[in-house]
């Protein structure tokens, strides 16, 4: 179904109603014809952090010991039931087992936190990482549910604003304008098949390839890699391009007017990360964007750190 933004079909990201007492507030809504679809609500971070909303604090203090006893009994019963599940050989039996273990060890133990998450999300991070199965940002960086709004694509690329709609630009729009994340982190990685495809593709290749079209977003990273590391082995060129393309994505983020505005205002920071899963190391840096930097440039890298 075709859908376009028009006076009757519109996205309103600024319809936020802030409640000073920390109650939910609506952050964005989508109007389709006469219907209003609320996209998200958000809790004040203070109350998310401590796993309680103000309202719940008073509710809990008013509860009787009897209520606590009943809740404890129900949770014990649930844990006992979950404990009875055994892992099978079937791949989905394995997933079922993992899910029930998550429920027992994480969800049930942190029920209030998950009840809050069911109402709203307020992540501080948006993460853009590769779809590669070996690169799982939640696993590697320990993000818990609710902490990172994540999009994964081939070679963790960010297309320019002018590229138009993509799943990545849609995710950015929601994370930045509605969720108001404070940080966007682009995570690249070692032995990236997408970057290898970019570095090895023929100039006149199969134009019907989705992969070819997608990785061409990082053509400038390929060109700068060939200029800077063209005399190195193909493997080393790929490693160079894996990092070069992250910086290309960071610069592409600034082509989105609402991202550029927030970075200039200081309410949003852009970061690069590189996960080397051969040696298990992680490199992290931050992009500085402002006028009057050394050498007349508007861009610089700061806070580079290496975790090993
Ligand atoms: Zn990759």
Token reading at 205: 């290749």
**Count of the separate structural domains present in the chain:** 3
CA–CA separation, 201 and 267 (whole Å)? 39
**pLDDT for 75:** 63
Residues 97 and 138 in one domain: no
Q: Identify the residue whose tokens are 């404070």.
A: 182
Residues 84 and 171 in one domain: no
Does any domain span residue 157? Answer: yes
Residues 207 and 114 in one domain: no
Residue 189 marked as a ligand binder: yes
Residuewise pLDDT in 10s, the chain (308 residues): 333 333 333 333 333 343 333 334 444 444 433 444 333 334 443 333 333 333 333 333 444 455 555 556 656 666 555 555 566 678 999 999 999 999 999 999 999 999 999 999 999 999 999 999 999 999 999 999 999 999 999 999 999 999 999 999 999 999 999 999 999 999 999 999 999 999 999 877 667 889 999 999 999 999 999 999 999 999 999 999 999 999 999 999 999 999 999 999 999 999 999 999 999 999 999 999 998 888 889 999 999 999 99
Based on C-alpha coordinates, what's the Rg of the chain?
23
The residue range of the domain holding 16 is: 1-42
CA of 308 to the centre of ligand 1 (A): 20
Does any domain span residue 90? Answer: yes
Residues 106 and 13 in one domain: no
Phi/psi of residue 45, each to 5°?
-55, -35
Residues 61 and 170 in one domain: no
Which of 119, 138, 163 terminates a domain? The answer is 119
Residue 87 marked as a ligand binder: no
Residues 244 and 163 in one domain: yes
Does any domain span residue 296? Answer: yes
3-state class (DSSP) for residue 112 = helix
Residues 65 and 78 in one domain: yes
CA of 135 to the centre of ligand 1 (A): 8
**pLDDT for 208:** 80
Q: Are strands 269-276 and 281-289 parallel, antiparallel or unpaired?
A: antiparallel
Token reading at 56: 């719940």
Using alpha carbons only, give the angle 303, 257, 154 rounded to the nearest 5 degrees: 65
Token reading at 138: 């939640």
CA of 211 to the centre of ligand 1 (A): 12
Which of 65, 99, 119 terminates a domain? The answer is 119
Residues 96 and 197 in one domain: no
Residues 194 and 297 in one domain: yes
CA-wise closest residue to 247 among 279, 287, 215: 287
CA of 295 to the centre of ligand 1 (A): 33
Q: Identify the residue whose tokens are 């590229």.
A: 163
**pLDDT for 258:** 98
Cβ-proximal residues to 72 (8 Å cutoff; 6+ apart), any chain: none
**pLDDT for 85:** 54
Does any domain span residue 139? Answer: yes
Cβ-proximal residues to 191 (8 Å cutoff; 6+ apart), any chain: 238, 277, 278
**pLDDT for 65:** 53
Which of 90, 119, 148 terminates a domain? The answer is 119
Residues 63 and 25 in one domain: no
Strand 148-153: give its sheet, edge to edge: 148-153, 125-130, 183-189, 269-276, 281-289, 299-307
**pLDDT for 291:** 87
Residue 76 marked as a ligand binder: no
CATH at residue 163: 3.40.1050.10
126 neighbors 146 (Cβ within 8 angstroms)? no
Residue 192 marked as a ligand binder: yes
CA of 298 to the centre of ligand 1 (A): 29
Q: Enumerate the active-site residues.
A: 130, 132, 134, 189, 192
Does any domain span residue 47? Answer: no
Q: Are strands 148-153 and 299-307 parallel, antiparallel or unpaired?
A: unpaired
Q: Quick one: DSSP state of residue 34?
A: T
**pLDDT for 77:** 63
Helical segments of the chain, H only: 45-49, 54-62, 65-83, 91-102, 111-119, 137-141, 167-173, 193-200, 210-215, 219-229, 234-253, 257-265
**pLDDT for 35:** 40
239 neighbors 179 (Cβ within 8 angstroms)? no
């Amino acid at each position: 179904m075709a859908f376009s933004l028009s006076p009757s079909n519109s996205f309103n990201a600024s319809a936020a109603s802030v409640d000073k007492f920390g109650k939910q507030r609506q952050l964005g809504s989508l109007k389709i014809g006469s219907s209003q679809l609320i996209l998200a609500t958000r809790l004040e971070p203070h109350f998310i952090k401590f796993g309680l909303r103000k309202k719940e604090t008073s509710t809990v203090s008013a509860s009787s010991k009897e209520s606590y006893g009943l809740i404890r009994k129900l949770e014990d019963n649930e844990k006992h039931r979950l404990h009875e599940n055994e892992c099978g050989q079937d791949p989905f039996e394995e997933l079922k087992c993992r899910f029930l273990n998550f429920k027992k060890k994480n969800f049930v133990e942190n029920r209030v936190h998950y009840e809050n998450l069911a109402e709203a999300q307020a992540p501080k991070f948006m993460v853009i990482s590769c779809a590669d199965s070996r690169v799982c940002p939640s696993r590697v960086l320990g993000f818990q549910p609710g902490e990172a709004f994540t999009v994964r694509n081939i070679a963790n690329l960010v297309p320019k604003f002018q590229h138009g709609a993509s799943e990545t630009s849609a995710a950015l729009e929601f994370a930045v304008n509605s969720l108001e994340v404070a940080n966007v982190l682009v995570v690249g990685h070692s032995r990236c098949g997408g970057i290898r495809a970019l570095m090895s593709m023929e100039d006149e290749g199969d134009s019907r390839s989705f992969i070819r079209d997608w990785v061409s977003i990082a053509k400038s990273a390929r060109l700068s890699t060939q200029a800077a590391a063209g005399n190195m082995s193909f493997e080393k060129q790929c490693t160079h391009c894996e990092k070069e393309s992250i910086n290309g994505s960071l610069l592409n983020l600034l082509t989105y007017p609402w991202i550029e505005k927030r970075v200039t205002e200081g309410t949003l920071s852009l970061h690069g990360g590189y996960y080397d899963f051969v040696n298990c190391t992680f490199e992290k840096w931050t992009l500085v964007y402002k006028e009057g930097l050394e050498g007349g440039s508007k861009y610089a890298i700061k806070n580079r750190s290496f975790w090993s």
